[in-house]
Amino acid sequence: MAIFDILGGEFIDIIEWTDDSRDTMVYRFPTVGKAIKYGAKLTVREGQSAVFIHEGQLADVFGPGLYMLETNNMPVLTRLQHWDHGFRSPFKSEIYFVNTTRFNDLKWGTRNPVMLRDPEFGPVRLRAFGTYSMRVSDPAKFMLEIVGTDGEFTRDEISYQLRNVIVQEFSRMIAGSGIPVLDMAANTADLGKIVAKAIAPTIAEYGLTIPEFYIENISLPDEVEKMLDKRTSMGIVGDLNRFGQYAQAEAILNASNNQGGGMGAGLGAAMGVGMGMAMRQGPWGAVPQGQQAGAAVPPPLPQSEKVWHIAANGQADGPYGRADLGRLAREGRFTRETLVWTPGQDGWQPADDVAELAQLFTVSPPPPPLPGN
């Protein structure tokens, strides 16, 4: 009986690796205390490569297939071992299985904002994030440059380094692209291709490729985005003069419909008038009289009689014309102390403090004497 048959339990005759974790990139086949039997069967499945390491040196790389480990199909290992053709001795080597399928949905993002000069807004800071996929394209180089002697190498061990490479190239590319910030969302696909091309040489030195690279979002600081929202709102408003007139009319209508009366109604209308005046100011100062950018100047509105509201029993009553108020004064229902308000007036005021209404009391006769006096 041959000595190798007696010690058969110490020899490895089937070498294979199955893994369903989708996370392991390199797996070292366990050979501690054992030797690979001459003529052993090596099974390399699709999406795998097998790398032989002998005495610290990379001996050979096997692609998908079924192999009999003999000297005639291992020329490199034969040269290292100085085997003669037909030698039948077991040998001691390390075998690493390398996963060559894609590793998808890997994340990247800028930890700190990237500073760039925008042609419209000037210096701005922005952040970006996205996803990418990677694949081992050169198992031998990947083993030599990255894995070393790690018995179980996962994608998390290399993804951090890849993120650093991606962010560095993205920052350099985006800062020199000259693309306006407002146009970047429409160019993320092209920007992604540029970044992937820029990082390809560095990644290739690791024995890797980046089959897919995506920029999912490019964002500005919150303060800048709020200002952009305001700018968008101004664009939606459109004709500021017409908007001011609309706001004034709304304030007057709300004041007349306010059953609660009081200072709130007057304040609402006054705010409407003030807003209309403010909206007629251009973003860089007052628009000159008779000018309106992009539109013809409308003719002046016809002057209508001023109307007044009076406070009676805690409620707003009116509107009344000046003649109506004179009639109420003669009837004793309208006095100098009666609070009045008209559009454009700053809150409620006593009638005697309004020059136009104070005349009503100087013209009106005093109340008649009581009978018997």
- DSSP codes, 247-298: HHHHHHHHHHH-TT-SHHHHHHHHHHHHHHHHHTEETTEEPPTT--TTSPPP
pLDDT at 80 over 80: no
Q: Are residues 80 and 187 in the same domain?
A: no
Confidence of residue 211 (pLDDT cuts 50, 70, 90): very high
Q: Are residues 17 and 93 in the same domain?
A: yes
**Percent of the chain whose predicted confidence (pLDDT) is above 70:** 69
370, part of any domain: no
Which carries the bigger pLDDT value, residue 158 or residue 92? 158
Query: How, if at all, do strands 57-62 and 339-341 pair?
Result: unpaired
Tokens representing 216?
């999912």
Q: What is the CA 158 to chain-centroid distance, rounded?
A: 26
Q: Hey, how many other C-beta atoms are within 10 angstroms of the C-beta on 253?
A: 13
Q: Hey, how many other C-beta atoms are within 10 angstroms of the C-beta on 126?
A: 19
Q: What integer pLDDT is reported at residue 343 of this predicted model?
A: 85
For 345, the domain range is: 238-282+305-363
In contact, 90 and 8? CB cutoff 8 Å: no
pLDDT at 286 over 80: no
170 vs 246: CA distance, rounded Å: 48
pLDDT at 219 over 50: yes
Phi/psi of residue 318, each to 5°?
Answer: 130, -165
- The number of helices, as runs of H, and strands, as runs of E, in the chain is 10, 18
**Percent of the chain whose predicted confidence (pLDDT) is above 90:** 20
Instruction: Read off the pLDDT of each residue in 149-156 and give the average, rounded to a whole number.
Output: 86
Q: Are residues 330 and 277 in the same domain?
A: yes
From 46, 80, 99, the end of a domain falls on 99
144, part of any domain: yes
Give residue-wise pLDDT tens across range 21-76. 788 999 988 876 667 777 788 899 999 999 988 777 888 899 999 988 775 555 44
- Which H helix or E strand runs over 200? helix 188-204
From 99, 128, 149, the end of a domain falls on 99
Phi/psi of residue 39, each to 5°?
Answer: 90, 10
370 vs 373: CA distance, rounded Å: 6
Q: Are residues 242 and 355 in the same domain?
A: yes
CA within 13 Å, CB half, 223? 2
Phi/psi of residue 263, each to 5°?
Answer: -65, -25
Which carries the bigger pLDDT value, residue 353 or residue 6? 353
**Residues 6 or more apart whose Cβ sits within 8 Å of residue 268:** 251, 254, 255, 258
The count of domains in the chain is 3
Q: Hey, how many other C-beta atoms are within 10 angstroms of the C-beta on 247?
A: 19
Confidence of residue 4 (pLDDT cuts 50, 70, 90): very low
Instruction: Read off the pLDDT of each residue in 76-87 and give the average, rounded to a whole number.
Output: 42
Q: Pick from 292, 296, 295, 264: which is nearest to 279 by CA?
A: 292
From 47, 81, 99, the end of a domain falls on 99
